[in-house]
A and B are shown apart, each in its own frame.
Chain A
Amino acid sequence: MKFLASLDKRRWTTAVVTLILAFLSGFLMQTVLTEPASIVAVPGSEDVPKPLPTSPQAAPLPILHQPPRYPDRVQEQWSTRVADCEPRLTVSAAPAATLRVDLTASCSPNQTATLRQGPITVGVKTDAYGRWQARIPAFEQDAEVEVAIGERLLRHSMNVPEADQFRHVMLQWNGPQVFRINAYEFGAKDQQNGHVWSGAPKAPERALRGGGFLTRLGDETGSGAEIYSVPVGAMPSSGVIRLTVDAEITETSCDQTVEATAYQSGPLGRLSPSEVLLKMPGCERIGEHLRLQNLFPDMRLALH
């Protein structure tokens, strides 16, 4: 593929421009057409979705392509006016096959909830107002987001047609954060623009230009996950993305065996799991890290 590219640069340039235009138009359509999601709460373990009372307070928030802002004053009014304590889950589709997830549980401030979607099972913490929000990659076209908070199980499905245009690797663990995914896109070196990691997670919109982005979930002490996602369908880039994982030698991890579960695209067209059981070096090496080159195989992306 590569030598063809160098032989025929002009044609590739045309193709790349076309792809970018196609992607941008999709982006605009989505921005215009994305509807705010309806809210569904499922009491207990019952599977029957029950519409929530449609009080003005419970109306779904308009979804913008920026994190919604909650001016403190409005928020105070709002949280004091919600009297029913009913937790709400709002999910909407966002560009780059992501989902915007908003949890509002005004009676459960500073509480850990469990988020599930695709292979993700991770603890997340509500803030002082009982809110938590994140933008997460959709792992399937029929994405199902589930949040368990207290005794309540909230569930929301969302169709994300472009989910199969993305490939992901994911690392998930219990306990303090030890692991960090590094993606070196198309020959990028440390700290360069194509080095995507938790220190430079990049925005999902970067997918429009063929780059990937990193999603971090969880808090520092409970459980956590890192997901690297990259578009493979309408690819303006081709080549190899090298993936490494750093395991930090910290006061809590040194001299311990740390565990994690890794997921990557497997040969069967679904995510393939690896159980990681890593013996960490002694505590004299606190501050250093182990670099795992072979946990994730390289992602090879080709122009189709």
Chain B
Amino acid sequence: MLRIFLIVGLCLIPLVGAAGPVKLTSSDGQVVLEGQLLSQDGEFFRVETVAGPVTLDAGRLRCSGAGCPDPAKLVARARVGGAPDMIHRLIPALLEVFADLNGLEYIRRFTDDTTVAWELREADTDRMVAIIDGTVAGSEVVEQQLASRDIDLGATKVPANGPVRQDVIALDALVPSVATENPRAMLTFAQLEGLLSGRLSNWSRLGGEDLSVELHLPKGWDDAVQRLNPDRRLAKATFHESPADLSDAVAANPAAIGLVPYSAIGNTVPLVISGACGLAAPATRDTIRAKDYPITKALYLQRVGARQPKIVRDFIAFARSAEAQPIIRAAGYVDQAIGRIGFERQGDRIANAVLAAGNDTEAMAAVQNMIATLLEGERLTLTFRFQDGSSDLVSAPDVQRLADAIDGGEFDGHEVLFVGFSDGIGPEAGNVRLSERRARAVRRAVAARVQRTDIPLRATGFGEVMPMACDDTPWGRQVNRRVEVWLRKL
């Protein structure tokens, strides 16, 4: 008779300090179960019985006995710790829309700059459904508090180590920026490296005014800064905890250059980085999503185990959904919606490919072959990138996202073409083979996740014919080693 109610293996957080004897009776009176209540999260009862712990659907049971939780106190509680902009900008925006979609009233309670709470109530009955506490904390503190269960959810920009489940909910990038009074619009990679290392300590060395360069850097982006300045020696710099302060310091000072997060560009002017070969990498929503702009960072929601209340799990699922992407974008971050870039917007890249081919007839034939293949297509803003010489896939979440989009019907009427490219290091024939191998590896990984069989998945490789960045820097080469995803009408 206990057929419908038994759910095995669920582990739920005790949301109410519940303990004591309870008697649970099904609405038709046919099932009666007695035991010690272990937990109740508004969705499930977990009861210790003579036969061991049992989890039951709370919606179909009546509870009697001293251990029964007070229904008025059945409120999901969760604690979130994280970066100030995520706690005060991103999460509230997402929560407010999440509440609206679930028919809940949203209210934010602000205590001070580091402490907030969000309350979600049923709109019609005013019954409190959830209280979520938010605290501003650094990434190390978040990691500790997740491990010690002092918070249920971490919101940071640093990937976690250890047994932490993490979901990427947004992207950010580090962009060299100057004040509006600074006339510069572009920097070569070598110039940027010179400014960061102190080799170029005066703007006059770059044809500007006689002003000492003042360097402003964000805290917590060390690895990204290092990728822009591989020789590791940094000039004297002012480090800023808050991205907004960093941005303001740069905006106020014509002599300043800062590496400013894209989400905090504020009143500064972002510079375009160009390579010695002339290829430029502006930081835009599309180039960051496609990781064509290489100095990016992910924003994570992190949790330990499966101990979150249902509403927290639902919220994480919402934050990753297509519906959440416009909110993430409006909050100033780069979202992960899969966008499309038409062939006509690839002009610079094609021009570069043609110029690079020069008088080499074989190379020109390869370029023509590539153009013929892609001419009618659209490039997705989802790109897979690889370590030097390897065809090991790096991004499993991206594979899943693409598979979900295919199964969700986003690309109906199209074939999906995986197009491999390589850097220009090594012999051409080898590069073509390597790019094909990478494209096939991505195709296989995606095909393994796709349920539908009516969308053709094809793979091809063109080697080094269409570089996106110059091969003279490690990050330039990494940008070039890629598998692009294209759609072609069937």
**A298 sits at the interface (CB 8 A):** yes
**A240 sits at the interface (CB 8 A):** yes
| B93 lies within 8 A of A267 (CB) | yes
**A277 sits at the interface (CB 8 A):** yes
| A275 lies within 8 A of B108 (CB) | yes
Contact of B111 among A5, A239, A240, A278 (CB under 8 A): A278
Contact with A along B259-273 (1 / 0, CB 8 A): 000000111111110
Residues of B within 8 A of A268 (CB): 96-97, 100
| B100 lies within 8 A of A2 (CB) | no
Roughly how many angstroms separate A110 CA and B389 CA in the complex, as a whole number? 83
**B407 sits at the interface (CB 8 A):** no
Residues of A within 8 A of B272 (CB): 3
| B244 lies within 8 A of A298 (CB) | yes
Contact segment of A35-43, A207-215, A289-297? A289-297
Main secondary structure of the interface of B (DSSP, over half): mixed
Residues of A within 8 A of B327 (CB): 267
Contact of B266 among A240, A273, A293, A294 (CB under 8 A): A240
- Shortest Cβ distance from A257 into B: residue: B111
Residues of A within 8 A of B271 (CB): 3
Contact with B along A110-123 (1 / 0, CB 8 A): 00000000000000
**A187 sits at the interface (CB 8 A):** yes
Roughly how many angstroms separate A262 CA and B247 CA in the complex, as a whole number? 26
Contact with B along A183-222 (1 / 0, CB 8 A): 0001101000000000000000000000000000000000
Residues of A within 8 A of B89 (CB): 297
Contact of A3 among B96, B109, B282, B332 (CB under 8 A): B282
How far, in Å, is A184 (CB) from chain B's closest CB? 9
Chain A residues within 8 Å of chain B by Cβ, number:
30
Residues of B within 8 A of A262 (CB): 110
- B82-126 with Cβ < 8 A to chain A: 84, 88-89, 92-94, 96-97, 100, 106-113
**B394 sits at the interface (CB 8 A):** no
**A51 sits at the interface (CB 8 A):** no
Chain B residues within 8 Å of chain A by Cβ, number:
39
Roughly how many angstroms separate A267 CA and B96 CA in the complex, as a whole number? 7
Roughly how many angstroms separate A294 CA and B252 CA in the complex, as a whole number? 21
A-B contact pairs, 12 of them (CB 8 A): A2-B265, A6-B185, A187-B251, A267-B327, A268-B97, A272-B92, A274-B107, A274-B110, A275-B110, A277-B109, A292-B110, A297-B89
Instruction: List residues of chain B with CB under 8 Å of any chain A CB.
Output: 84, 88-89, 92-94, 96-97, 100, 106-113, 136, 180, 183, 185, 244, 247-248, 251-252, 265-272, 282, 327, 330-332
Beyond A268-B96, A273-B108, A277-B109: 16 further Cβ-contacts under 8 Å? A2-B269, A3-B185, A3-B271, A3-B272, A6-B180, A239-B266, A240-B266, A267-B93, A268-B100, A272-B96, A273-B107, A275-B110, A277-B111, A278-B110, A279-B112, A294-B113
Instruction: List residues of chain A with CB under 8 Å of any chain B CB.
Output: 2-3, 5-7, 186-187, 189, 239-240, 242, 262, 266-268, 272-279, 292-295, 297-298, 300
